[in-house]
């Protein structure tokens, strides 16, 4: 009996960690998609700026363009910040973090950076910001169908955006 109990437990653990891994990969893929989206928006903004500069120069013969491109500039800053945030989330998903002093990717639990030796601040038990919130699989809810369903929903709702 004991043996079978252990076997059952083992199977559940394997399933849970596999599900967790799938979730993590899905989240990471979404984040990467969002990063690429930001990058292409930034590229478009640079293109806009180039066009504005060109037209301004050709039409007015001057390059007093600060006011004309303010909006684009601030959007580029916003998207750049957004990308950094997404990249941090990807690191968290991989149980990594960035060393404050050398910016290398290191293990989240590391007390000292293996690259530069800098002491790492105590990791506060902070909330890992999950991309859309609801995709965390409730560990007490082990119904397979349920979790698959919610993943499908997630995927299709993601498709409908934009």
Q: In whole angstroms, give the CA distance from residue 15 to residue 124.
A: 29
Closest by Cα among 158, 156, 160, 138 to 147: 138
Residues 91-150 that bind Zn ion (CB under 5 A): 99, 101-102, 113, 115-116, 118
Ramachandran angles phi, psi of 95, nearest 5°: 60, 35
Contacts with Zn ion: how many residues (CB under 5 A)? Answer: 7
H or E segment at 133?
none
Cβ distance to Zn ion smaller for residue 69 or 118: 118
Residue 110 C-beta: closest distance to Zn ion, Å: 9
Q: In whole angstroms, give the CA distance from residue 133 to residue 147.
A: 14
68 scored as a contact of Zn ion (CB under 5 A): no
Token duo for residue 128: 């890992």
25 scored as a contact of Zn ion (CB under 5 A): no
Residue 113 C-beta: closest distance to Zn ion, Å: 3
Residue 105 C-beta: closest distance to Zn ion, Å: 10
Instruction: Give me the residues that bind Zn ion (CB under 5 A), please.
Output: 99, 101-102, 113, 115-116, 118
């Amino acid at each position: 009996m004991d043996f079978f109990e252990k076997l059952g437990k083992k199977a559940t653990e394997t399933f849970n960690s596999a599900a967790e891994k799938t979730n993590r990969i899905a989240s990471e893929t979404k984040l990467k998609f969002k990063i690429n989206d930001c990058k292409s928006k930034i590229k478009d903004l640079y293109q806009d700026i180039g066009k504005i500069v060109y037209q301004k120069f050709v039409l007015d013969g001057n390059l007093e363009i600060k006011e004309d491109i303010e909006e684009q500039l601030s959007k580029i800053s916003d998207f750049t910040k957004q990308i950094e945030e997404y990249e941090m989330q990807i690191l968290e998903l991989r149980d990594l973090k960035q060393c404050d002093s050398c910016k290398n990717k290191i293990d989240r639990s590391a007390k000292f950076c293996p690259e530069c030796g800098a002491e790492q601040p105590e990791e506060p038990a902070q909330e890992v910001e999950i991309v859309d919130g609801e995709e965390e699989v409730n560990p007490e809810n082990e119904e397979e169908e349920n979790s698959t369903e919610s993943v499908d929903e997630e995927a299709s709702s993601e498709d409908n955006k934009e």
